Amino acid sequence: MADNPCTPDQRPEKNFKLVVEYDGTAYCGWQRQPDQPSIQGALENVLQRMTRAPVTLHGSGRTDAGVHALGQTAHFKSHTRLEPAELQKGMNGLLPGDIAVQSCQSVPLDFHARFDSRWKRYRYRICNLPVRRAVGRQYAWHLYRPLDVAAMAQAARHLRGRHDFKSFESSGSPRASTVREVMEASWQKRDDHLEFDIRADGFLRFMVRNIVGTLVAVGMGKLAADDIPGLLEVADRRLAPPTAPPHGLFLVHVQY
64 is catalytic: yes
Among 45, 44, 41, 38, which residue's Cα sits nearest to residue 64?
A: 38
Judged by DSSP in three states, 242 sits in coil
User: Are the beta carbons of 62 and 170 closer than 8 angstroms?
Assistant: no
User: Are the beta carbons of 72 and 20 closer than 8 angstroms?
Assistant: yes
HSE at residue 61, side-chain half, CA atoms within 13 A, is: 30
Other beta carbons within 10 angstroms of residue 226's beta carbon come to 12
Catalytic residue (choose from 64, 164, 197, 201): 64
- List 204's β-bridge partners, or say none: none
Sign of CA dihedral 7, 10, 11, 15: positive
Q: List the catalytic residues.
A: 64
